[in-house]
Structures are given as structure tokens and as C-alpha cells.
Structure 1
Amino acid sequence: MRLVKFTHACVRLEDAERRLLIDPDILVTHEHDDHLDLERVIEVSASRPVRLYAPEPVRELAEKGGLAAAVTVVAAGDEFRAGGFQVAAVGGEHAEIYDGLPGCVNLGYVVEGVYHPGDSYFVPRQRVTTLLVPAAAPWGRHRDAIDMTRAIAPERAFPIHDRALSADVGYANFDGWMEFKGATEYRRIPVGDHAVL
């Protein structure tokens, strides 16, 4: 089996004729933009059939784009086949960023030993041989990623959810949360610029 990393949390599993894409389409962990590219799914669906397996809020978003029929709603505990692979949906809740937010559903998927947790550190009961471990997020801590990895004890682990380590996405995400919940005036000082105190 091959694991192809695209960007951020998007990976594809390939095994002979079997192919399965995880976040942003096919298996969708939750409705956040960094895990669901609905515009791209709509674009692809214009040229070929698309099937998504996702929690209910994703179906609700897909309904607005005319794709509700393409979504099979799944929940934690469900087992199903997708892209020729056996899949178990696990977890159920997005990791907390602050004050109980974002408070949305998040499914992890164990696909024949490969575990994609989405935005959580949930430890599944299923045997995991390959862990896709979240590397950076507003809800993330290195300590939690290490604890999850040790608790699961996979044969191997690869980082996902790592685009937040970059200036184009990471800064905006961190700044947005500081502005929203920081309870003070907040502004990023661009490199080489200054602030007047």
C-alpha cells in the first residue's frame, strides 16, 4: 500500500486498483475548510461521480452545493467500505481550541491499519500500524501528539495537519484566535516593521 501526502491533512491511500482520498474529499473528518474543499468536490463531480463519507454537518453543507445525495453520513462506531478499503469511523469530537470551541463533530478513520484522526488526539481501540499524527494546530500541543503516538504505539507515524507551520496559513489562524479570544488589542508586527508603544 502507498500513502501519498498532498497538503496539510490530505492523503491518498493506493493499493493496486484501490484508491482512497482523505480530507478534503471522499473520507471527510469534519466541515472545516482545511478538511473539506467543497468547491473542488463540486468541480470534480461535474466530470465524474463523487462519493463522500462524512459526519452529518458535511452533508448539510453539501446540500447547499447540490451534492447532498453524494454524501453517506457516518458516525463514530460505523464500519463500511470506501474505495475498496475497509474503514472504521472513530472518535467523534473535535479537539478543543478554547472555551469549548469549536464544539463540532470530528471523525477519525482507521483504514486497514492506517489512522487519520482529523482534528483530534483520539486513541482508537482498533490496531493502528500507521499513524498520521497532527503536527500543528490552534488546538494542538506537541505533548498531546507525543502522548497519542505513544498510546497508540504504531509501527510508524507521519505528520499531517502541518500547513499551520507556514506563514501563509499559520499566522492567520493564530492571529484570528488571539483577536477572537485574547481579550486585548492584538496585532502581528510584520518582519522588519515595528509597533509604536
Structure 2
Amino acid sequence: MQFTKLGHACVRLTTDRGTIVIDPGAFSEPDAMVGADAVLITHEHFDHVVPDTLRAAAAANPDLEIWTNPAVAAQFPDLAGRIHAVTHGDTFEIGGAQGVAVHVHGEKHAVIHPDIAVIDNVGFLIDGRVFHPGDAFTLPEEGVPTLLVPAGAPWLKLGDAADYVRAVAPSQAFLIHDGVYNDAGLALAERILGQLAGSDTRPVRRLAPGQSTSLPGA
């Protein structure tokens, strides 16, 4: 599986069974969904999905399928039949019975402030290899070889992110949700998370937008 960072919380996962894009929001690369077979959306915030951009991608690719939580799915009645609502505990396959297996974990966005309503948020474990939690520190109910760890957000502090990596105990972790940082902040976040949650056997690092790496099997 090839993992490509596409800016902020958006990633592309490429396998011989299909190409999956997760959370192509306002801070993502403009062509993030080009060539995708499926788009997964964790929640409704603008940095994770831009409705007009998603509709344009669906119009350009009639075979594009979308999975997300029910609150987001309800915002796209025009995509009925192509947008699928999923919740915690659900499983589905992208590309048919021999496609890419996806397990859904999580229910709610992390708390930003008591005065701000908590919205729905789901995380996706792809092919048993890589977990994208969206905007939450969801602990999957199964092993996670590669964790995508949020690194910068109004709801987040780096110490909590480090504890999240420790709790999930993946083989490796990559920073996501980092589009709010400048270069100095990116370097600081990578260093602190690497020091607190990383080790020789569990690297914690970031990729630049457009950079790719290969992920090991489950």
C-alpha cells in the first residue's frame, strides 16, 4: 500500500485493489480526489470536506463512491446511491468482495469547548493497516500497524497526541491535521511527538504534502 500525504488531514492510499482518499478538505491539495475510487469523510468540518468540491469530483467521476457518517451523508441527497452512511462498528469493502476492507471506529468529534456542540466523527481502519481517526483520539478495538495522529487543532495539545500514540501502540505513526502550523511549528510538533511517543522501533514522523511512502502489510 502506498500512502501519500495531500495536505492537512487528507491522505491517499493506493493499492492494487483501488485508490482511497480520506478527508479532502479546504487545506488539501486541489487535485486530491483525481483518480480516486472512493472518498472517506470523517466529519463535516470544512478542513475535512468542501461540499462543492466533493460534488464536482463526483460529477467528474461517475464511479466515485463515498462513505461518511450519517450527519454528513444527509447533506448530500443529490448523491443518493453513491454516498453511504456508516457508524461505529460497521465494516465495508471498497471495490467489491475482494476489495479493500474498511472498519469504522469512533462516534464523536473531540471537545473543542463546552460552548461548541460536539458533532459526529468516525475513524477508518483501512485494510487492517492504517487508521485515520479524524478529529478524535479514538482507540480502535483492534491492532493498528500505522496510526495517523492529529498534531494541531483547537481541540488538541501535543501531550495528549503523544499519549494517544502510546495508547494505540502502532508500529509507526505519521502526523496529520497539521495544516495550521508554519514550518517552525511543524518541526516542533514532529520533534515533541517523536521524543514523547516515538522510539527506535516506533518512529513518529511527518510527510510533506505530496510525499509518499510504502506501508507494510497488516
Q: Name the TM tier (shorter chain).
A: 0.7 to 0.9
- Whether contact under 8 Å (1:60, 1:68) holds in the other structure is no
CA offsets 1:7-56 (integer angstroms, 9 cap, x no match): 11000111224211111271110111111122112112222222110111
How far the C-alpha of 1:100 sits from its partner, in A, is 5.8
TM-score, L = length of structure 2: 0.72
Of structures 1 and 2, the larger Rg is shown by 1
1:74 maps to a residue whose letter is V
- Whether contact under 8 Å (2:43, 2:72) holds in the other structure is yes
Other structure's SS at 1:44 match: helix
CA offsets 1:76-135 (integer angstroms, 9 cap, x no match): 000111253111100111000000633111001111220000000111111100000001
| Structure 1 runs (4+) greater than 4 angstroms displaced | none
Query: Please, which of 23, 39, 53 is the counterpart of residue 52 of structure 2?
Result: 39
Deviates more, 1:53-62 or 1:158-167: 158-167
Any stretches of 5+ residues in structure 1 without a counterpart? 168-197
Query: Please, which of 46, 54, 62 is the counterpart of residue 68 of structure 2?
Result: 54
Structure 2 match to 1:178: none
Distance in 2 between the 1:102 and 1:136 partners?
A: 20
**Structure 1 segment 1-197 matched on structure 2, within 5 A:** 1-24=1-24, 26-49=39-62, 50-63=64-77, 66-83=78-95, 84-99=99-114, 101-111=116-126, 112-166=128-182
> Relative CO higher for 1 or 2, CA cutoff 8 Å, sep ≥ 6?
2
TM-score, L = length of structure 1: 0.79
2:50 maps to a residue whose letter is D
- Whether contact under 8 Å (2:42, 2:123) holds in the other structure is yes
Any stretches of 5+ residues in structure 2 without a counterpart? 25-32, 34-38, 184-218
Other structure's SS at 2:125 match: strand
Between structures 1 and 2, the one with greater helix share: 1
| CA RMSD, Structure 1 to Structure 2 (Å) | 1.6
Structure 1 match to 2:188: none
Structure 2 match to 1:177: none
Distance in 1 between the 2:4 and 2:100 partners?
A: 16
- Whether contact under 8 Å (1:3, 1:11) holds in the other structure is yes
